[in-house]
Structure 1
Amino acid sequence: MTKVALAIYDMDKTVTRRATFTPFLLHAARRLAPWRLLLLPAVAVTSLGYALKLYDRARLKELNYRLLIGHVPPDRLEPVIQSFADEQLRANILPGARERIAHDKAAGRRLVMATASYRLYAAAIAQRLGFDDVIGTEQAIDRKGRVLARIDGANCYGAAKHDMILAWLEQEGLDRGALHIRFYSDHVSDAVVHHWADEAFATNAHQRLIDVARTEGWEVLDWRK
């Protein structure tokens, strides 16, 4: 039986040169409410709180989104998302990532982005790159239809990313045994997904992941060069 081929990509520092979350917050603040840039010292304080382990990554995201964007209706947020995605495509996508994405697509693989970034804007970037599906951190919506800082469900990071990929497979009616899965990521937090995939690629990786990749026999790629 021929297996269905998937290629799953992390986004930040795997497909992109730089992380996207803080640039998105700044981009949105400048366009929606420039006065919020005065709150940047408070953002620095939240980062210190995270460094001191007062809260986790998910809470850090929520705090900083609340400070720099707040609760915004989708119709106001959408143009900001689209302009940010255009900006990322112009200046923040690694050429090697573009080439591998095109190669996987030409080979008939279903392209899936699985990212800890908010799906809100990751989906716009993924759509421009030709991805078929996006798994990302979701946000809650209030009764007025405004997009909230609060994460709806789990932050799509580490073991939670693996769980969310499995939930997505079930939602799509895809049987793991009938799939051949490639996975690309730069960070050791995604090693659980690397282990689970049929082909694992440590991509633009930091040293900890490179060390794991060498032990496990995963291919090491560097699209930054």
Structure 2
Amino acid sequence: MNLTLFDLDGTLLPTDSDHAFGEFLVRIGWADGGEFKRRNDEFYAQYLEGRLDIDAYVRFCTAPWRDRDPAEIAAAQARFIDEYARPSLHPAALDLVRGHLDAGDVVAVVTATNDFVTRPIASLFGVRTLIATELERDAFGRATGSIRGVPAFRDGKITRVRQWLADAGRTLADFERSTFYSDSTNDLPLLELVSHPVATNPGDGLRAVARERGWPILDLFA
């Protein structure tokens, strides 16, 4: 039995869905095109540099929509998926995921982006298991602006993957092969944990690490 894990943004998608959803909020008039866009870009730069405060980012990125009517929120989410996620699907990424699913691997998408944005996207790839940063919800199901439990970010991805496996009565040692595809140095902890790390569309930092350590490099969008 093999375990295959995929990062999402920059790995299976050519861009970042979290940042793109912020731009979408500006486009539909739910967020200010000046200050919100500036801060959204700033948080994204911090992520790329490996110094993102994910709690602060979640408070920021959910603020424009979390107090709106649930039907209005659901409609905006569906529109984002149709206008952004579906057009962003790349045949090479779809084929990669489908190959592992068809081989009978245990497959999950493991992403720091929150579950509200990414659950529908994981479904587009045919992946049922999503390990994402989970938004805390109040008694009425509304997002509070906080994170529920451990965010799936940096070392937190290891914690969340181990929790998921433990809930199924498994550990990493139960798998003959464990693979993780990622583009980012933020994911080095999980890349170093699995038996087969794959630097996928890597940024300069991860590409250098992969070359130094002899990890395979996969450029899906070249």
TM-score where L is the length of structure 1? 0.85
Aligned residue in 1 for 2:198: 201
Does residue 189 in structure 1 map to residue 183 in structure 2?
no
* Residues 93-132 of structure 1: pairs in structure 2 closer than 5 A: 93-132=89-128
- Aligned pair count reads 217
- The runs of 4+ residues in structure 1 deviating greater than 4 Å are 28-31, 45-51
Aligned residue in 1 for 2:155: 159
Does residue 171 in structure 1 map to residue 194 in structure 2?
no
Displacement after TM superposition at 1:39 (Å): 6.1
Letter in 2 for 1:41: E
Aligned residue in 1 for 2:11: 14
CA distance in 2, matches of 1:186, 1:143: 37
Aligned residue in 1 for 2:207: 210
Does residue 41 in structure 1 map to residue 35 in structure 2?
yes
- The answer for unaligned runs of 5 or more in structure 1 is none
RMSD: 2.5
Does residue 147 in structure 1 map to residue 120 in structure 2?
no
* Residues 61-72 of structure 1: pairs in structure 2 closer than 5 A: 61-66=58-63, 68-72=64-68
Displacement after TM superposition at 1:73 (Å): 5.1
Distance 1:213 1:177, change over 3 A: same
CA distance in 1, matches of 2:51, 2:172: 38
- The answer for unaligned runs of 5 or more in structure 2 is none
Distance 1:170 1:76, change over 3 A: farther
CA distance in 1, matches of 2:56, 2:161: 22
Q: Which moved more, 1:55-64 or 1:166-175?
A: 55-64
